[in-house]
A = this chain, B = another copy of it.
Amino acid sequence: MPAITELNSQLTIFEELESEVRSYIRSFPVMFEKAKGYKLWDAKGKEYIDFFAGAGALNYGHNHPKMKEKLLSYLADDGITHSLDMGTKAKAAFLEKFENVILKPRSLQYKVMFPGPTGTNTVESALKLARKVTGRDLIISFTNGFHGMTLGALSVTGNSFKRHGAGVPLHNSMAMPFDSYLGDDVDTVDYLERFLEDNGSGVALPAAIILETVQGEGGLNTAKDEWLKRVEEICRRWDILLIVDDVQVGCGRTGPFFSFEPSGIKPDIVCLSKSISGYGVPMALTLIKPQYDIWEPGEHNGTFRGHNLAFVTAAEALSFWETKDFSREILDKGAMAGEFLNDLTDKYPELKGEVRGRGLMRGIACGVDGLAEMICGRAFEKGLIMETSGPNSEVFKIMPPLTIDREGLNRGFAIIEASVKESLNK
């Protein structure tokens, strides 16, 4: 790497050269240099525990040694790096393993599409295909859903700040209330059903319903299995395609590989990205029930849909799923996190805290303005990377690599508790 002047290490280079759009660097204002597993180090050698995991892109931790080994070897051998959607051995190997390790054991039948290597791109491809299959325009999404930043994905995203960024009105989408949106007494599927049943509701039959089973950006709102099943029934009743956006909550984040497994639903389209490459490099998949795979060749394309370095690490990452151990461990560690958070809300009622989430994606919604952000800020000073979510950044979110060990978890928990205390002036 070329020499970096002292200036850079002071971060001013980003202020001078990078766009104002930069954001995480404002919360975590240091120069990162190395990372391994659940740890990062900045240029001064300070260590950080990672309870953020690249917003879900680092479920297997940073620079996992086995993936790294495969990657180094592939690079050293001049394996083809960029291939658009031509056939390559790396891609074939990934596909075969994905079929054998993920789909077959779960009795799932999907054709695999490689859209551009980002979450928003798999969502765009899913929306297009649903419209093509049904000949309908509307996509129903849910309050506080987050699906991406390009115009199609943004139209089904709830956040008003992000939506406003479009600069034009967003069309062909309609937000319905997510599970528990109106409190626990109101069944929001009834609401959805009423709109669809009524010819006068002003809501057309949609091409698709898109949802996250746990809304990571939206505040860790968790859909009950029963709610998911009823949404699926509605889709079946009116021939609506069910799209599950598992970009953040898939790849084991909630325990099973797919977040929807416990509910028993079978989505028509599944969107995957973030941790699918395993190594934090760009990759995305769109899984499509075979009967809906009616794309024309090249109808949706993209330059980086054949990112072979990602295929190499992705194939290796699937090894985690060859037995049920990994899933079990995640659930165990998730339970630890849940317990910790429950204790915390009990111990610190001033948090006005509500524990949310599933698996290793948990957090506390704080009933005090600005508190969650303050806690994250304090935690960072103490060496823990953690971010907020929710429409008002009211939730602080525990989302470590799934590979973290108990020691790492406990170290992180301790920092959180210390930060909570400080933030509450205790």
Contact = CB atoms under 8 A, between A and B. Distances in A.
B96 A82 contact: no
Interface string A271-307: 0011000011110001010000111111111111001
A204 B164 contact: yes
Given A24-B84, A87-B30, A169 B168 contact: yes
A266 interface: no
A85 B117 contact: no
Contacts of A105: none
Q: How many copies does the complex hold?
A: 4
Contacts of A199: 159-161, 391-392
Contact of A131 (B167, B186, B392): B167
A68 B152 CA distance: 36
Interface string A6-46: 00110101100111111111101111111110001001000
Contacts of A297: 20-23, 26
B392 A159 contact: no
Nearest to A215: B200
A118 interface: yes
Contacts of A383: none
A263 interface: no
B86 A18 contact: no
Interface stretch (A55-63, A229-237, A323-331, A337-345): A55-63
A274 to B, nearest CB: 6
A295 B92 contact: no
A307 B282 contact: yes
Given A4-B96, A86-B32, A195 B70 contact: no
9 nearest A-B residue pairs (beta carbon): A131-B167, A82-B280, A175-B202, A200-B391, A151-B152, A150-B150, A23-B298, A21-B295, A19-B113
Contacts of A19: 111-114, 286, 288, 293, 295
B20 A296 contact: yes
A171 B174 contact: no
Given A21-B300, A33-B80, A5 B88 contact: no
A184 interface: no
Contact of A174 (B2, B68, B174): B174
A169 B167 contact: no
A382 interface: no
Interface stretch (A140-148, A355-363, A368-376, A407-415): A140-148
Contact of A150 (B86, B152, B392): B152
Interface string A389-407: 0111000000000000000
A159 B201 CA distance: 7
Contacts of A114: 18-19, 22
B1 A90 contact: yes
